[in-house]
């Protein structure tokens, strides 16, 4: 009887937790749903009072205007440039930052060298500087180096910003790999590089996926630095590109929402593709030995 009561109590608590969790998720998803509805609603429903919650009809007019398919609209937003620049900066910075962060994390986790702790703390503290504090020094430095308004210069900044997080995360994952496996690989004739590539790296793939996702989204959604370093459409990404929908006295909220939907698609796709590895990475790599 006692066990049955305990089981019912746990089941009831689990149901309450599930309902609360879904409630929080739905609450957090309301802004995203509202943006999607605004992107596909008629223009006369955007700023109406009282608010029209559910569009009376769906239209793709915001996208035809944005891509220049509407002959009645003379001006159009350089969405192709924003998309190309966003993917270039995000993918380049993710690949380079995760590669360097993985190697650095492995070195910090497996080897002891002079100033080991000081070097690790220095890398971590460099990530603590907010982007707004970096904007002016970066602008002066990049302006002297002729790298302003350059998408590769922007990617270089994102690489430097993402390396500390990737290093910290991969260091935690490599510390969870039993050293006995590495020593067994050494006995079988593997060197440090061979043991890393064949034994330890495959066991840390969840951490690698987690670091890649966070690095990509950090670069994809970054606004402060790119708004200072990018001056023209040839180097602007999606976040500052949203201001193309603002004029002196008006704001095209529907067009801004339409571009925001385009920005959300890569994030949704990446989360769906690596959801299992992402959850495993957060729960496994966050515990350090």
Percent of the chain with pLDDT over 90: 19
Q: Name which residue leads in pLDDT, 196 or 6.
A: 196
For the chain, the domain total comes to: 2
The pTM (predicted TM-score) of the whole model is 0.82
Q: Say if residue 210's pLDDT is above 90.
A: no
The answer to whether residue 66 is domain-embedded is: no
Same domain, 193 and 229: yes
Same domain, 98 and 27: no
Residue 114 — pLDDT band, cuts 50, 70, 90?
Answer: confident
> Which of 97-101, 195-199, 277-281 has the largest mean confidence?
97-101
* Cross-strand pairs, 246: 251
Same domain, 133 and 178: yes
The answer to whether residue 221 is domain-embedded is: yes
Same domain, 95 and 228: yes
* Full domain range(s) for residue 55: 2-59
Same domain, 155 and 218: yes
The answer to whether residue 260 is domain-embedded is: yes
Same domain, 136 and 46: no
What DSSP string describes the chain?
-HHHHHHHHHHHHHHHHHHHHHHHHHHHHHHHHHHHHHHHS-GGGSS-SS--SS-SS---HHHHHHTT--TT------HHHHHHHHHHHHHHHHHHHHHHHHHHHHHHHH---TTHHHHHHHHHHHTTS-HHHHHHHHHHHHHHTT-TT-HHHHHHHHHHHHHHHHHHHHHHHHHHS-HHHHHHHHHTT--HHHHIIIIIHHHTHHHHHHHHHHHHHHHHS--HHHHHH--STTT--HHHHGGGGB-SS-B-HHHHHHHHHHHHHHHHHHHHHTHHHHHHHHHHHT---
Q: Say if residue 151's pLDDT is above 80.
A: yes
CATH of the domain at 158: 1.10.3720.10
Q: Which residue has the tokens 């050293």?
A: 179
The answer to whether residue 73 is domain-embedded is: no
The answer to whether residue 124 is domain-embedded is: yes
- Catalogue the long-range contacts made by 194-201 (C-beta closer than 8 Å, 24 or more residues apart): 196/106, 200/106, 200/174, 201/102
Contacts of 228 (CB under 8 A, 6+ apart): 135, 136, 138, 139
Residue 288 — pLDDT band, cuts 50, 70, 90?
Answer: very low
Average pLDDT, integer, range 204-211 = 85
CA neighbor of 66 nearest in space, from 52, 54, 76, 56:
76
Same domain, 24 and 104: no
Same domain, 172 and 39: no
Which pLDDT does position 287 carry in this prediction?
43
Q: How many CB atoms are closer than 10 A to CB 193?
A: 8
The answer to whether residue 70 is domain-embedded is: no
Mind listing the pLDDT tens digit for each residue in 229-239? Answer: 988 888 899 99
Mind listing the pLDDT tens digit for each residue in 172-182? Answer: 888 888 888 88
| Average pLDDT of the chain to the nearest whole number | 83
Which pLDDT does position 158 carry in this prediction?
93
Average pLDDT, integer, range 266-272 = 78
Same domain, 118 and 151: yes
Mind listing the pLDDT tens digit for each residue in 64-109? Answer: 888 877 777 666 788 889 999 999 999 999 999 999 999 999 989 8
Average pLDDT, integer, range 1-7 = 60
């Amino acid at each position: 009887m006692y066990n049955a009561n305990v089981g019912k109590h746990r089941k009831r608590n689990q149901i309450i937790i599930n309902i609360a969790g879904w409630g929080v998720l739905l609450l957090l998803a309301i802004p995203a749903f509202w943006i999607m509805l605004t992107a596909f609603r008629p223009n006369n429903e955007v700023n109406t009072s009282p608010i029209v919650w559910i569009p009376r009809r769906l239209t793709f007019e915001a996208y035809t205007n944005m891509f220049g398919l509407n002959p009645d609209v003379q001006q159009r937003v350089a969405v192709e440039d924003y998309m190309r620049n966003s993917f270039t900066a995000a993918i380049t910075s993710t690949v380079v930052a995760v590669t360097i962060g993985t190697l650095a994390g492995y070195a910090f986790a497996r080897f002891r060298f002079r100033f080991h702790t000081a070097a690790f703390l220095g890398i971590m503290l460099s990530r603590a500087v907010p982007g707004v504090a970096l904007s002016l020094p970066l602008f002066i430095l990049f302006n002297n180096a002729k790298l302003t308004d350059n998408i590769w210069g922007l990617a270089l900044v994102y690489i430097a910003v993402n390396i500390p997080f990737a290093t910290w995360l991969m260091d935690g994952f490599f510390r969870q790999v039993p050293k006995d496996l590495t020593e067994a690989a050494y006995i079988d004739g593997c060197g440090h590089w061979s043991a890393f590539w064949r034994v330890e790296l495959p066991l840390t793939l969840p951490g690698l996926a987690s670091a890649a996702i966070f690095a990509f989204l950090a670069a994809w959604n970054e606004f402060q630095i790119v708004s200072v370093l990018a001056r023209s459409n040839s180097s602007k990404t999606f976040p500052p590109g949203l201001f193309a929908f603002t004029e002196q006295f008006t704001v095209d909220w529907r067009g801004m929402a339409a571009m925001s939907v385009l920005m959300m698609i890569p994030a949704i796709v990446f989360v769906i593709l690596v959801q299992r590895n992402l959850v495993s990475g957060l729960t496994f790599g966050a515990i350090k030995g």
